[in-house]
Amino acid sequence: MSLLIKNGRVITASEDYIADIFIEGEKIKAIGKDLQMKAGETVDASGMLVFPGGIDPHVHLDMPFMGTYSSDSYETGTRAALFGGTTMVIDFILQKQGASLQAALDEWNSRATGNAVGDYSFHMAVTDFNEHTKKEIKHFIEEEGISSFKTFMAYKGALMIDDRQMIGLMEEVKQQGGMVTVHATNGDMIDYLVAKHRNEGKVSPLYHYLSQPEVTEAEASERFVDMADYTNCPGYIVHLTCEGALNAVRNATKRNQHVFVETCIQYLLLDASLYQKDFDGAKWVMSPPLREKKDQDTLWAGINQGLVKVVATDHCPFKWEQKKMGEKDFSKIPNGHPAIEHRMELLYSEGVNSGKITLNKYVEVACTNPAKIFGMFPRKGTIGIGSDADIVIFDPNEKHTITASSHHMNVDYSAYEGWEIIGKVKTVLLRGKIAINDNKCILDKGYGQFIKRSKVKGMI
């Protein structure tokens, strides 16, 4: 099976040129002007951008939570991702406190295996680090191809680990060649503020926001960065939202420490004024919450300064009925919002088209850096000879409107309802096969593969 993409404008994290791309099987075989190879199929990409498939390294599909599950399955979630030009996602396995990492991996595999349309991997969330868990780390990195270990500094009694466990985990992960990633907010401070607001009868979504002020994130980010420096363990902060937290990372760079920062599309585009809309604000209840306009400026600048390396989504959708579990108490609103489908198009429209970032930077933070940081480069994340043929053909001029009625995520509202954006995904290839064309998904569930990742370097 072979395919030739003709005359596209090829964009990678560092290049921008017009060329043909010849694909054989799952791989890119040749790139050049006027390629003469005979191909089974030819796609004309004149006037189009051609860039690597997006990688969203922060999603939660079919995740058990508060007696329910996030509403996108591996099938619906990875399919929606493909519609938006994201060919691979990294999901999170959550260890149950008191149980093994392996038990959690088995549980997640039972939901994911055979169901994904797009490619996927897992981060292993360690919620209980002890002598037993410690022995499993090496196996996960070397045998399972899972080299990143997520930690929570918040959600006490469920997911949170204390600093003693954090240091122990970092020392072991460092030794075995992995990375520790973190939800960096101060769990004790947040617990106190949540209880205080509930006691005062302040229960609307606005108080979700007011229970997680910027200082809770800035403090925890600095503490995480310091512990990573002390243990010399590669570190990655997920969904960083605000100026205070980014300053902690900026300070760390002054001692030549490498800490990776991920933000999410919503923190660049949406702000906390949405929580003023009574219970409608529940659509954007997530942790950390949306912040201020000044934080958006900080994050865009952080991308251009090279401090913010990745733009992800933290996609964790819940239908409106599920969100209503917290109608009388913000602390019972399932946390998360849907974004897996629109990350690439939103970042293009609001980032590249509006002049905030370059096309190369766009590819870097949405495709290339996630592959480099998490041990998949150059198989994934770029357009190069020998790489997987994960390719997006993108019309930079087509305008369209985001609505819940036309999206492909399994959720009955859109966090970006009515947004008119410019730039649209036209054709998507995943490992050499056409996945999306003419607004249709051609691949079936089960095509998506679990991608084993290698050890990480801790700098890119």
Question: Would you tell me which residues interact with Zn ion (CB under 5 A)?
Answer: 314
Measured from the CB atom, the residue of 79 and 150 that comes closer to Zn ion is 150
Least Å distance between CB 267 and Zn ion?
13
Q: Which residues pair with 328 in a beta bridge?
A: none
Give which of 332, 343, 417, 432 is closest to 383, Cα–Cα.
432
- C-alpha dist (Å) from residue 433 to 1, 147, 170, 278, 453: 9, 28, 39, 46, 22
Tokens standing for residue 219: 């403090």
Give, in order, the Cα–Cα distances in Å from 161 to each of 97, 126, 175: 10, 8, 20
Residue 337, classed as helix, strand or coil, is strand
- Is the bond into 213 cis (omega within 30 degrees of 0)? no
- Residue closer to Zn ion, measured from CB, 54 or 177: 54
Q: In angstroms, what CA-CA distances link 160 with 96, 217, 325?
A: 11, 14, 23
Shortest Å, Cβ 313 to Zn ion: 9
Q: Which is nearer to Zn ion, 150 or 356 (CB)?
A: 150
Beta bridge partners of 16: 11
- Least distance CB 316 / Zn ion (angstroms): 6
Calpha distance 190→211 (Å, rounded): 6
Shortest reach from residue 58's CB to Zn ion, in Å: 6
Helix axes 163-176, 214-231, angle to 10 degrees: 50
Least distance between Zn ion and beta carbon 166 (Å): 18
Half-sphere exposure of 135 (CA within 13 A, CB side): 3
Least CB distance from residue 264 to Zn ion, whole Å? Answer: 9
One-letter amino acid for residue 453 of the chain: R
Q: Which C-beta is closer to Zn ion: that of 217 or that of 314?
A: 314
In the complex, least distance from residue 287 CB atom to Zn ion, rounded to whole angstroms: 8
Q: Output the CA–CA distances (angstroms, integers) from residue 250 to 186, 243, 260, 306, in the order listed.
A: 19, 10, 11, 10
CA R_g for the chain: 21
3-state SS class at 17:
strand
Distance separating alpha carbons of residues 400 and 419, to the nearest angstrom = 8
Smallest separation, CB 262 to Zn ion (Å): 10
Best CA proximity match to 354, nearest among 295, 416, 421, 305: 421
Q: Which residue is it, tokens 């209503």? A: 324
Residue (123 or 426) nearer to Zn ion, CB: 123
- Residue 395 to residue 49: CA distance in whole angstroms: 6
Distance between CA atoms of 455 and 179, rounded to whole angstroms? 8
Terminal Cα distance for the chain, rounded: 34
**Residue 92 beta carbon to Zn ion: minimum distance, rounded to whole angstroms:** 6
Q: Please, which residues have CB within 8 angstroms of residue 61's CB and are 6 or more apart in sequence?
A: 70, 72, 73, 74, 77, 78, 89, 91, 111, 112, 315
Tell me the closest approach of the beta carbon of residue 365 to Zn ion, in angstroms.
18
- Nearest approach in angstroms of CB 390 to Zn ion is 23
Q: Considering the complex, what minimum distance in angstroms separates the CB of residue 336 from Zn ion? A: 7
Q: What does the alpha-carbon distance between residue 263 and residue 221 come to, in Å, rounded to a whole number?
A: 13
Burial of 439 (0-12, 13-18, 19+ CB in 10 A): exposed
Q: Which is nearer to Zn ion, 370 or 423 (CB)?
A: 370
Residue nearest Zn ion by beta-carbon distance? 314
